[in-house]
Structures are given as C-alpha cells and as structure tokens.
Amino acid sequence: MTNPSHDTERERRESATKKPAPSWQDASASDEPAGRVALVTGSGRRRVGHVIARSLGQAGFRIALHYHQSAQTARQNVAEFREAGIEAEAYQANVADESEVDRMFDQLIARFNRIDVLVTAASVWSPIPLEQLTADDLRRDFDINALGTFLCARRAGLIMAQQPTGGAIVTMGDWAIRRPYRDHAAYFISKGTIPTMTRTLAVELAHRNPRVRVNCILPGPVMFPDDLGPTERKRLVEATLVRQANVPESVAHTVRFLVENPFVTGVVLPVDGGRTIYAPE
C-alpha cells in the first residue's frame, strides 16, 4: 500500500523542478529572430514613414525603405541609416500596381530572406472641392491609399504566415475619417476603407498563422507640411486636447508598441492628441 506522505513529498519535488509555463512575454523574447526586417512604405521621403523607419532601425531592425519617385531622397536616407549603423536598402514600386508590389517583395525576400514588420505609410492627398472632384481623382486616391495598402499587406501577410515567428502589419488611416472636413472627399473615402481592411486581414491571416497580427493607426496632425504658415500651425496645435502637434515620433512610438505586443490585433487606434473626440469651439 502506498504511503500518502511519500506521494506528497514526490509531488513537492516534481513541482520544485518543473519550469513555469511561458508567458506571452517570454515567448516573444525567446522566439525573436535575430536581424528582424521591417518594410515601411513611403519611407523614401522625409515624412512620417521615414521617422517610423528610423525608430525601427534604432530598435535593431534591418530596414527596407520604399519609394515611388523620390529615388534621390531614398538613396540619401539609406546612406544616413547606414552611417548610423542601421542596415538598410531601398526599393522602388508603385504600390497601386500589383506586379510592382510583387517585384518589390521578391527583391526584399531575395535580400533579407524574411519580413517581420510592414508599415503602410505611403499615401497621397490633395484638397479638391466637391464640385471639381472627378472620377480619376477618386480612383487615384483609392488606388494608392486603399488598394496599395491591401496589395502590400496581403503579400507581406502571406509571407509572414509561412514564418514560424509570424509578423506584424501596421496600416495607416486618418483620424478625420471619423469627423471629415471639406475638400478632401477622395482622400477620406480611400482612407475610410483602412479600418475594415485591417480587421479583415487580422482575421484572415491569424487563421493561417496565429502569430501574424494586423493593426491600424489613425494619425492626427503629427507632421506639418514644410510650407505650413505659423497661423495655421498654431490653429492645429490649439485644435488638439493636449495642445501639441507636429510630433511624428508619437506615431513611431505607437508602431513599436503594436509590433512588440503579441496580444494586440485588429485594433484601430487614434494617435491624434484627442482630435477624434474634440471639436474646438
């Protein structure tokens, strides 16, 4: 007959030697591949995408910059990154053209053999009064802002789904799709598709690999155009609850959070200083 005290003592010994079940923090740290690769579309120009790419590079990612027509600036950005000790390459593509998107990803995979992060920061916009808006205007914004985001996210996501470590995709919408203002109908219509696209891809890709996540940022006035005058700059600052604007690093910080937190997917997150909920009198 077994002595119950012996069973209890054996259970204590087994419990003392048993390793605790890994948490998601442990999994994300231990499974993190060396030399992770991030592609940021629209990062060839010195706009928000460039700031995001630099932030990811400083965090240890190898960086794939994307540009459409700004080849000279993209080359300068690559040189700047390399001088800072960041491994970087630049890739050209019209994101609205499926064949060019496929070519860009083929070149990227041939060079780096993986992709861990995609940030879709490429976009176009221009103020056009509703009376003057043409079907071509609408198609241009939709093709680049909506279709371009989808083509890049789908291709990256399907590659990530084949990787044991998965990956993270961060799309870019706009805070004003929730409270649109005048003369930007084509832009807001195209950007308005991004949250639904994000949630759809989050579901689709997680069914292929649960370690692939897709999230969306809705930026506010995070980076002023170079030609914006002081009066307009002041107005944009005062239109936020936090009385701040022109802070592209806030978007880069949010990208880092969405990339590193493996329990967040399908989220649409405003980074707008309160513009979504606040209308100045």
Residue 156 has pLDDT above 80, yes or no: yes
**Of 78, 147, 75, 155, residue with least CA distance to 115:** 155
Residue 210 and residue 232: Cα distance in Å, rounded? 45
Single-letter amino acid, residue 238: E
Residue 99 and residue 41: Cα distance in Å, rounded? 16
Instruction: Kindly state which CATH superfamily the domain 32-271 is placed in.
Output: NAD(P)-binding Rossmann-like Domain (3.40.50.720)
For 127, the token pair is: 């103020």
Residue 189 has pLDDT above 80, yes or no: yes
What residue ranges do the domains of the chain occupy? Answer: 32-271
How confident is the model over 83-132, as pLDDT tens digits?
Answer: 999 999 999 999 999 999 999 999 999 999 999 999 999 999 899 999 99
pTM score of the predicted model: 0.87
Find out whether 62 and 34 touch, Cβ atoms under 8 Å. no
Going by the DSSP 8-state scheme, the letter that residue 45 receives in this structure is S
Find out whether 169 and 156 touch, Cβ atoms under 8 Å. yes
Residue 39 and residue 181: Cα distance in Å, rounded? 31
Distances (CA, A) of 12 to 3, 7, 8: 15, 9, 6
3-state secondary structure of 91: strand
Four-CA torsion 234, 125, 104, 69, nearest 10 degrees: -90
Model pLDDT, residue 45: 83
Find out whether 214 and 267 touch, Cβ atoms under 8 Å. no
Between residues 27 and 168, which one has the greater pLDDT? 168
3-state secondary structure of 161: helix
How confident is the model over 227-268, as pLDDT tens digits?
Answer: 888 888 998 888 889 998 888 999 999 999 999 999 999 999
- Cβ count near 272 (within 10 Å): 25
Distances (CA, A) of 182 to 68, 189, 207: 28, 12, 40
HSE-CB for 156 with a 13 A CA cutoff = 32
Pairing label, strands 37-41, 62-67: parallel
Model pLDDT, residue 228: 84
Residues 6+ apart with CB under 8 A from 275: 175, 176, 179, 220, 221, 239, 240, 241
Q: What is the helix (H) or strand (E) element at residue 67, kind and residue range?
A: strand 62-67
Model pLDDT, residue 273: 92
Model pLDDT, residue 46: 82
